[in-house]
Chains A and B, each alone.
Chain A
Amino acid sequence: MSAQVVVCCGSGGVGKTSTSAALGLALAQSGHRVALLTIDPAKRLADSLNLGAIGGTPTRVPLKNVSGRCEALMLDVEETFEALIRRVATSEDSAERILSNRYFQFASTRLGGVHEYMAAEKVRELALSGEYDFVVVDTPPARNALDFLRAPDRIAGLMDGGVVRWMAMPATRSGWRALELGSEAVARVLRRLIGQSTIGEIAEFFELFRDLWEGFHVRSNELKQLLSSDQTRFFLITSPAPTARSEALFFLDQLDDFEVPFGGFIINRVESPPLHDRDPSPYLPEGLPEQLVEAIRIVPEKQRLTAEEHSRSIQSLLSAGPDGANHWIVPDLGKPINKLDDLLELASHLPAAPIP
Chain B
Amino acid sequence: MSLLSREILIVTGKGGTGKTTVAASLGLWAARAGKRTLLVECNGSRQIPTLFRRASEGYSPTRLHPDLSAMSITAEEAIEDYVVKQIKVRKLYKMVFRNRVMGPFMDAVPGLHDAVHLGKVYDLIEDDKTRGQPNWDLIIVDAPATGHGLHMLASARSMMELTRAGPVYEGVKLVHDVISDTNRTGLVLTCLPEDLPVNETIELNDHLRAADHQVAGVVLNEMSDVPLPSADDWTAHGPSLQTSTHPEVQEAAVLTERWIARRDRQLTAKARLEASIDAPLTTLPFLMNRALGFAELDRLSHLLADSMEAR
Contact = CB atoms under 8 A, between A and B. Distances in A.
Contacts of A106: 110, 161-162
Contacts of A305: 288
B96 A42 contact: no
Contacts of B228: 291, 295, 299
Contact of A12 (B16, B92, B103, B111): B16
A41 to B, nearest CB: 4
Given A186-B96, A303-B255, A295 B229 contact: yes
Interface string B60-99: 0000000000000000000000010011000010011001
B226 A194 contact: no
Interface in B201-259: 203, 226-230, 233-234, 237, 240-241, 244, 246-249, 251-253, 255-256, 258-259
A299 B256 contact: yes
Given A13-B192, A299-B259, A302-B226, A242 B291 contact: yes
A248 B247 CA distance: 39
Interface residues of B, number: 75
Interface stretch (A225-233, A253-261, A274-282): A274-282
A292 B164 contact: no
A48 interface: yes
- Which secondary structure characterizes the binding site on chain B? helix
B56 to A, nearest CB: 15
A218 interface: no
A42 B252 contact: no
Contacts of B291: 242-243
A123 B169 CA distance: 38
Interface stretch (B121-129, B145-153, B271-279, B297-305): B145-153
Q: Name the interface size band of chain A.
A: 35 or more
Given A107-B110, A274-B252, A309-B288, A334 B258 contact: yes
Given A161-B103, A189-B96, A195-B168, A283 B244 contact: yes
A189 B92 contact: yes
Contact of A194 (B111, B166, B234): B166
A289 B103 CA distance: 68
A59 interface: no
A193 B83 contact: yes
A349 B165 CA distance: 57
A177 B118 CA distance: 35
B261 interface: yes
Nearest to B147: A41
Given A242-B290, A292-B233, A182 B147 contact: no
A181 B99 contact: yes
Contacts of A198: 162-164
Nearest to A206: B108
Interface string A29-54: 00000000000111110011000000
Contact of B14 (A42, A206, A283): A42
Given A195-B163, A289-B237, A299-B226, A110 B100 contact: no
A265 to B, nearest CB: 17
A163 interface: yes
A154 B203 CA distance: 31
Contact of B95 (A44, A182, A243): A182
B206 to A, nearest CB: 12
Contacts of A107: 108, 110
Nearest to B230: A291
Contacts of B86: 192-193
Contact of A154 (B107, B163, B261): B107
A275 B251 contact: yes
A299 B252 contact: yes
Contacts of B17: 12-13
Given A141-B145, A197-B164, A334-B261, A157 B104 contact: yes
Interface string A133-147: 000000011111000
B72 to A, nearest CB: 14
Nearest to A188: B87
Contacts of B259: 295, 299, 302-303
A284 B192 CA distance: 35
A278 B195 CA distance: 35
A100 B279 CA distance: 42
A185 interface: yes
B225 to A, nearest CB: 11
Given A42-B203, A291-B228, A284 B241 contact: yes
B111 to A, nearest CB: 6
Given A193-B168, A280-B248, A163 B108 contact: yes
Residue picked from A47, A141, A338, most chain B C-beta under 10 Å: A141
A4 interface: no
A119 B252 CA distance: 47
Interface string A171-209: 000000001011001100110111101100010001000
Residue picked from B146, B162, B197, most chain A C-beta under 10 Å: B162
24 contacts: A143-B43, A154-B107, A163-B104, A163-B108, A181-B99, A186-B92, A189-B87, A193-B83, A194-B163, A195-B169, A198-B162, A198-B163, A198-B164, A202-B108, A275-B247, A276-B251, A278-B248, A280-B251, A284-B249, A295-B259, A299-B259, A300-B252, A334-B258, A336-B196
Given A274-B251, A283-B244, 14 more contacts: A11-B16, A13-B17, A48-B196, A106-B162, A107-B108, A140-B147, A181-B99, A186-B92, A189-B83, A197-B165, A291-B230, A294-B227, A309-B289, A338-B196
